């Protein structure tokens, strides 16, 4: 397996959340992304795990019954741990509350989020926190280039404007270039978890992407495998 397919290869992540279902979802998908995973269901366990497991990054739900994310963060920092933290916040969390959280290399994601987006954020804070790990932040398929840091896509040198969803979808396809992805797999990764729509939305967005990425150029990069799914593929 290549690096792009297992973006968390060799990295340790601690998941802190009181909801069993969400913990389970994150654990499964981050494991598969190549991370070594530990979980904690409350603040005290989290503090113990930070010391024992020595994670490279923490995913922390800020709304927990016994000890909120602010308190956990303060205690973690007070003990001298400096690893980045990705906070999970409710959509209605106020801006200044979030601003107070995300100092330094930290980041946050609002619930409900898409798995592809969360993994991308985790990988991003890891890259920023570790200057020794100079890893190309851009994906490339043929003459199509996606730069994650700049959040920019170009084809044949020409900048292409994408909406947030289009960008996440394209990144997921490019991370899996040369492999067919079913509509349900795309839904599960690119759309918010527990999304209850059907695959029609994926068809619509593939149509949007094609109009921007394939139609203005000679060689199509996006391919439909009827009855199976979609794929981006290097033409050579």
Spatial separation of the C-alpha atoms in residues 188 and 32, rounded to whole Å: 14
Q: Which residue from 71, 165, 180, 188 is in contact with DNA, where contact means CB under 7 A?
A: 165
Determine if 227 is a binding residue for DNA (CB under 7 A).
Answer: yes
Yes or no: say if 57 and 26 are a contact pair by the CB < 8 Å rule.
Answer: no
Q: Which residue from 53, 108, 191, 193 is in contact with DNA, where contact means CB under 7 A?
A: 191
The CA-atom distances, in angstroms, between 4 and each of 19, 121, 135, 215 are 29, 15, 11, 27
Spatial separation of the C-alpha atoms in residues 130 and 122, rounded to whole Å: 12
Query: Minimum CB separation from a second copy for residue 165, in Å?
Result: 9
Tokens describing residue 66: 């016994």
Determine if 199 is a binding residue for DNA (CB under 7 A).
Answer: yes
Q: Which residues contact 114 (CB under 8 A, 6 or more apart)?
A: 168, 189, 190, 191, 192, 193
Q: First and final CA of the chain: distance in angstroms?
A: 21
Q: Of these partners, a second copy, DNA, none, which one is at the site of residue 224 (CB under 5 to 8 Å by kind)?
A: DNA
The residue ranges that bind a second copy (CB under 8 A) are 1, 6, 20-21, 24-25, 27-29, 31-32, 74, 77-78, 82, 95-96, 98-106, 108, 115, 128-129, 131, 149-151, 163-164, 178-180, 182, 184-185, 187-189, 193-199, 225-229, 231, 233
Determine if 235 is a binding residue for DNA (CB under 7 A).
Answer: no
Spatial separation of the C-alpha atoms in residues 55 and 36, rounded to whole Å: 9
Residues in 62-101 at the binding interface with DNA, rule: CB under 7 A: none
The SS3 of residue 112 is coil
Determine if 184 is a binding residue for DNA (CB under 7 A).
Answer: no
Nearer to DNA, 28 or 163 (CB): 163
Spatial separation of the C-alpha atoms in residues 171 and 162, rounded to whole Å: 11
Query: Minimum CB separation from DNA for residue 26, in Å?
Result: 20
Determine if 204 is a binding residue for DNA (CB under 7 A).
Answer: yes
Determine if 206 is a binding residue for DNA (CB under 7 A).
Answer: yes
Q: Which residues bind DNA (CB under 7 A)?
A: 161, 163-166, 183, 191-192, 195, 197, 199-201, 203-204, 206-207, 210-211, 224, 226-229
């Amino acid at each position: 397996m290549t690096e792009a397919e297992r973006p968390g290869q060799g990295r340790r992540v601690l998941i802190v959340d009181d909801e069993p279902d969400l913990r389970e979802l994150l654990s499964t998908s981050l494991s598969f992304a190549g991370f070594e995973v530990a979980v904690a269901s409350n603040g005290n366990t989290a503090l113990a795990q930070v010391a024992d497991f020595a994670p490279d990054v923490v995913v922390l739900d800020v709304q927990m019954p016994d000890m909120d994310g602010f308190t956990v963060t303060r205690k973690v920092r007070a003990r001298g741990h400096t690893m980045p933290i990705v906070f999970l916040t409710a959509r209605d969390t106020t801006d200044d509350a979030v601003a107070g959280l995300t100092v330094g290399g930290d980041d946050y994601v609002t619930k409900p989020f898409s798995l592809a987006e969360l993994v991308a954020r985790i990988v991003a804070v890891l890259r920023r926190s570790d200057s020794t790990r100079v890893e190309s932040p851009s994906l490339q398929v043929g003459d199509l280039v996606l730069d994650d840091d700049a959040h920019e896509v170009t084809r044949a040198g020409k900048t292409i404007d994408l909406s947030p969803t289009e960008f996440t979808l394209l990144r997921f396809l490019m991370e899996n270039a040369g492999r067919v992805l079913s509509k349900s797999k795309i839904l599960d990764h690119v759309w918010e978890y527990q999304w209850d729509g059907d695959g029609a939305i994926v068809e619509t967005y593939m149509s949007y992407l094609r109009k921007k990425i394939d139609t203005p150029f000679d060689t199509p990069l996006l391919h439909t495998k009827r009855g199976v799914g979609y794929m981006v593929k290097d033409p050579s």
